[in-house]
Structure 1
Amino acid sequence: MNGVPARVTPYSGIEGSPYLFDEWSVADITLRGGEVKEKVSMKVNTFENELEIMNEQGTRIILEKKQVRKVKLERPAGKFSPEKGDVRVLTFQNGYEGLRGVGQEDFVNVLAEGNYYTVVRTYRTTLQEPVKNSYAPTPGKMFVFGENLYLLGVNKEAQSVRAKTSSIVKALEPEDRALAKSIIKNRSLNLSREDHLITFFEELHANK
């Protein structure tokens, strides 16, 4: 896989983490040519917006994102809670540059995808600098993690939504809201859960 050796980044002395998961995760990587690399050790750096892998020789490599089409990343065991609705595998794809702060080659987490609606989630970590205040001890630098959820309709325009049933239903086309409410009621879905959100859009697309 194309890439360059990871540079040594001075993250020491900064509270928090620049990675989506601190632990190395297992990923299946689909390249642009269609070749699939299975069970690759990977970390997603949400601060540098990079995909970092460990090759068989133990070298850390930053992938060239334009060579990658899709990544299926397993959540580490300690970050996976099915009771809370977590899905085990997170799918990342690029080509969503219409989202705020997202470029053509940047990867986003695709939760649901269909002919009518697509739901994606962006992860972004920023570095919070110390606040200068002569009257109080100066706090250290820290990484601040954030995520945003977007609903894309047929026209591919993105709406920012909350991971909440009422917010997602309101963002649908008016003619789809009655069907949506029926699916939610019949299946007892809570769209703040990842697994319920995926089920909801599968049902919605199947019944439109």
Structure 2
Amino acid sequence: MKYVIASLLTLMYQVVMAQASPTDPTAYLRLNNLNNPSTGPLILRIDTRYEGQHGSPYLLTDWSNGQVSLTNGKQYKDVSLKFDAYRQELILLRPASGNDSIIIARPTVNRFLLTRPDGQAYLFGRYPTANIDDETIKNGYFLILYEGKSSLLKRVAKTFKAADYQGAYSANVRYDSFDDSFSYYLLKPDKSLTKVKLSKKTLLEAMSDKGDALKKFADGQKSAFKTEEDAVTLIKQYDTL
């Protein structure tokens, strides 16, 4: 009889392990103290505390109408796209294929455009020839906030944090989460790519080659330049000097 029970539990464990999602390890059944005589009879325990996933690895969770411009000059319009900000990958839904999708190789992409149903558009570009030591940053995608002689670029990324609720010293966080991670870069005509913060001091330091003229303009605006719009205003002025 014990052999039959043990065999049954082993089979149940194997079935659950086979069906559980590899990205959701906390969904597995926990078989605790099954053969420990000191704990009493065999007990199958299920940990139901996991609350699933919060957030998404994608910039926009749904497929968006978009356009793609490749480095070889080819362009594709009215295609369904998703931008995986966590992995920095552009995903294309194959036309008339249902849910079949492909990842477009990053080095082949020059720019792409995503448009939400409400008309909000997001234009992304790549700048592999920019002068910056960080290869990960150089080879990624940037949201273009302003483009003139210089450009204000926004790196849109995601961070992942796994659930942490098991063990005596856990944080009691019962869900996995994807969170936004933004950073800003100034691309100057000499192709230098400099990380900046949205602040008057940092922006003026990054554009100090224009001397006092830009500082005088900034002082006259009575702004701390902490918004994207104000930063664009300052960079536009920089381009005129």
Same fold (TM over 0.5): yes
Q: TM-score, normalised by structure 2?
A: 0.63
In the aligned structure 1, how far is the partner of 2:214 from the partner of 2:231? 15
Which structure: larger Rg?
2
Residue aligning to 1:125: 158
- Output the TM-score relative to the length of structure 1: 0.71
Structure with the bigger percentage of strand: 1
The residue type paired with residue 149 of structure 1 is: Y
Give the 3-state SS of the residue equivalent to 1:102 in structure 2. Answer: helix
CA deviations over 1:126-184 (Å, ceiling 9, x no partner): 21123454156453221122011122345544332222344322321253453354268
Number of matched residues? 189
Is 1:161 the counterpart of 2:196? The answer is yes
**CA separation in 2, counterparts of 1:63 and 1:127?**
23
Distance 1:120 1:192 in 2: 15
The yes-or-no answer on 1:92 pairing with 2:125 is yes
Aligned to 1:48: 87
Does residue 64 of structure 1 match 2:105? yes
- For the structure 1 residues 196 and 39, does the alpha-carbon distance in structure 2 shift closer, same or farther, using more than 3 Å as the test? farther
Match of 1:22 among 54, 61, 70: 61
Give, in angstroms, the shift of residue 65 of structure 1: 1.7
Q: What is the Cα-based RMSD across aligned positions, in Å?
A: 3.3
Structure 1 residues not aligned, in runs of 5+: 1-8, 81-87
Query: Percent of pairs identical after alignment?
Result: 22
Task: Give 1:119-198 correspondences, 5 Å limit.
Answer: 119-131=152-164, 133-134=167-168, 137-179=172-214, 181-182=216-217, 185=220, 191-198=225-232
What stretches of structure 2 of length at least 5 have no aligned partner? 1-20, 25-51
- Using CA pairs under 8 Å that are at least 6 residues apart, name the structure with larger relative contact order, 1 or 2: 1
Q: Which residue of 2 aligns with 1:204?
A: 238
Contact 1:51–1:63, Cα closer than 8 Å, also in 2: yes
- Equivalent residues of 1:170, 1:177 under 8 A apart: no
**TM-superposed deviation, 1:196:** 4.4
Question: Residues 144 and 112 (structure 1 numbering): CA distance in 2 closer, same or farther, change over 3 Å?
Answer: same
2: CA distance between counterparts of 1:98 and 1:66?
A: 17
For residues 202 and 56 of structure 1, what CA distance do their matches in structure 2 show? Answer: 40
